[in-house]
Amino acid sequence: MFKRNSFFSKLFLAVLIVTLVAANGIVGFKDGTNLFKPAIAEAATVEKAPKYVFYFIGDGLGAAQRQIAEYFLQEKTGDKSAKLLINQLPVAGINTTYSASSLVTDSAAAGTALATGHKTNNGIISKLPDGTDIKTLVEAAEEKGMATGIATTTRLTHATPAVFASHNESRSNENEIAVDFLDSNVEFFAGGGARHFLPQGWVDDMPSMNGSKRKDNRNLLKEFADKGYKIFYGKEQSDKFRNYKPKGQEKVLATFTLSHLPYEIDRIHDTNNQVPSLAEITKKGIEVLSKYPNGFFFMIEGGRIDHACHTNDAVGAIHDILAFDAAVKEAYKFYKEHPDETLIVVVGDHETGGMGLGFSKNYYLKLNELLDVKASVGDVLAKKYNGDRDAYFKYIAENFGLDNLTEKEKAEIIKAMDLVDKKAEYDVAKYGPSYYNPVAVATTHVISKRANIEWTTFAHSGTSIPMSAVGVGSEKFTGFKDNTEIARTLASIMGVELSK
């Protein structure tokens, strides 16, 4: 049994050595450029490499996000001792996240660092800024003869999953990234994003699969099937995926939605969204990959934590963090069966939203204010206001716990309604980018302020973030590290080589 607060005590110790780390020149400027060059301390290869490696990446998962999800769990269950598994793993550290082009990274550059051990510019997928391809951990594991898997709650072609099995000058080239996957030899793919695998103008018997973003007539799902992959696509095939039992060394490609998988809060509250959870996907990936004799490397991303924080949706983020933690529990069950052969590493790529637990002069958090929220801000609430103010206020009263708005709170939402109705320009610092809905943003800020949560941005922040680990070689991850060191330490433990 893990000791209470073991994660945060270790995190505190890691923070204490930041000054010493800086004094010894871990981060310095490369002359004449804006690139940062960490002095990476190569970890010694462990005597016996782990046979099974799980690499969990929480997109947007900062320290505040880890903590608020745990506090929410305690509030919801009434158990003040309830803990997230990711906060109980015995090894903890803290990581910097800056990219080669900015102190505030995007997911492509952060993912590239975590996948390859190299810094690159924001927006680039597993290439150096000069365009040179760099080897990923998935590619290195495949070279060693290990099976590999990639699972995510986003589109499979989104930045974080893309950096493990693709190389591209831009994360926006998702159709090209999907083609790259054909030659990756990855044995297990699961997530969303079917629109980048289906030919242009695609019309399907399954309503959820009508549509494509491709500009050509290639049906990549068919091409994967021709390569021997078992294909699961559309939410209609969710149960088929759940019931599938691999009989040998089989390959799988599962894309359950055209774009991202639903937020967890929507998945559990809307019967039309019953695609597999990230935990179910992780469990199935283990079933598939464990059939291979030389072990596996399995990257699992909780991608929509980031999306929720972009829209300052505290409850949406919390539910996706809890779903992410449930996925880690599936890997931990496997670890308990193979403790001498398994490594689990849990990281984030960056923090999103600048989430603050407390604001103004208030010394409290009131998480009971979050318990009655039943839908996401980005996918659901953003589409609810159509000019009918009474209907909107009725909806948020029934689904967001806002049945007792104060005059000030209601006035804030009405101000946003006025902007939308008049199609007026608005302050993006207050309401977010133009593709956000000001009414939904004003509403989610009411909920956050009630709970005493504050946000500094609709983008990413440059703060350092926590990581945790357990298993073979996990002790090598402790301390204050750059994100590139995580990938290189992992490669060393696995006995594989990344690009120099």
| pLDDT tens across the length of the chain (500 residues) | 444 455 555 554 544 444 333 333 333 333 333 444 444 444 444 469 999 999 999 999 999 999 999 999 999 999 999 999 999 999 999 999 999 999 999 999 999 999 999 999 999 999 999 999 999 999 999 999 999 999 999 999 999 999 999 999 999 999 999 999 999 999 999 999 999 999 999 999 898 899 999 999 999 999 999 999 999 999 999 999 999 999 999 999 999 999 999 999 999 998 777 899 999 999 999 999 999 999 999 999 999 999 999 999 999 999 999 999 999 999 999 999 999 999 999 999 999 999 999 988 899 999 999 999 999 999 999 999 999 999 999 999 999 999 999 999 999 999 999 999 999 999 999 999 988 999 999 999 999 999 999 999 999 999 999 999 999 999 999 999 999 999 999 999 999 999 99
Helix (H) / strand (E) element for 480: namely strand 479-482
> Do 432 and 472 belong together in one domain?
no
Report residue 66: phi and psi, to 5°: -60, -40
In a domain, 362, yes or no: no
The answer to whether residues 22 and 76 belong to one domain is yes
Give the residue numbers spanning the domain of 428: 368-454
Structure tokens at 358: 């407390």
> Could you tell me what percentage of the chain is helix, strand and coil, using 3-state DSSP and rounding each to the nearest 5?
40, 15, 40
- Is 107 catalytic? The answer is yes
Residues 237 and 373 reside in one and the same domain = no
Shared domain check, 228 and 247: yes
1 in a domain, yes or no? Answer: no
What is the spatial distance between Cα 127 and Cα 118, in angstroms, rounded to a whole number?
Answer: 9
Whether residues 307 and 321 fall in one domain? yes
Query: Are 479 and 436 in the same domain?
Result: no
Residues contacting residue 178 through CB under 8 Å, at least 6 positions apart: 156, 157, 193, 196, 197, 220
Nearest 5°: phi and psi at 296?
Answer: -150, 160
Task: Please indicate, yes or no, whether residues 300 and 395 belong to a single structural domain of this protein.
Answer: no
Strands (E), 293-380: 296-302, 342-348, 351-352, 356-357
Annotated binding site: 59, 158, 160, 301, 306, 310, 349-350, 460
Give 185-220 as a DSSP string: --SEEEEE-GGGTSPTT---SSGGG-----SS---H
Strand ranges in 201-273 using DSSP code E only, listed in sequence order: 229-233, 251-255
Residue 15 covered by a domain: yes
- Give whole-number Cα distances, 484 to 44, 117, 439, in Å: 16, 4, 40
140 and 217 inside one domain: yes
Q: Annotate 366-425 with DSSP letters as a single string.
A: -GGGGTT--S-TTTTGGGT-SS-HHHHHHHHHHHSS-SS--HHHHHHHHHHHHHHHTT--
Within-domain flag for 500: no
Does 296 lie in the same domain as 426?
Answer: no
Provide the CATH number for the domain around residue 49. Answer: 3.40.720.10
Structure tokens at 307: 């999306």
- In 3D space, the residue among 306, 211, 173 whose CA is nearest the CA of residue 181 turns out to be 173
Query: 281 near 275, Cβ under 8 Å?
Result: no
Q: How many domains does the chain have?
A: 2
Amino acid at 17: I
Terminal alpha carbon distance of the chain: 40
CB 134 within 8 A of CB 499: yes
- Annotated binding residues for Zn(2+), written as ranges, equal 59, 306, 310, 349-350, 460
The answer to whether position 69 is within a domain reads yes
Strand partners, 279: none
Give domain status of residue 94, yes or no.
yes
Burial label, 404 (beta-carbon count in 10 A; 0-12, 13-18, 19+): exposed
Q: What is the pTM of this model?
A: 0.91
Looking at residue 473, what DSSP letter applies? T
Secondary structure element (H or E) that encloses residue 485, with its range? helix 483-494
Question: 373 and 248 in one domain?
Answer: no
Annotated binding site for Mg(2+): 59, 158, 160, 301
Same domain, 289 and 426: no
* Residue at 360 is within a domain: no
Residues 446 and 336 placed together within one structural domain of the fold: no
Cα–Cα distance for residue pair 33/344, rounded to 1 Å = 36
Catalytic residue among 107, 448, 468, 492: 107
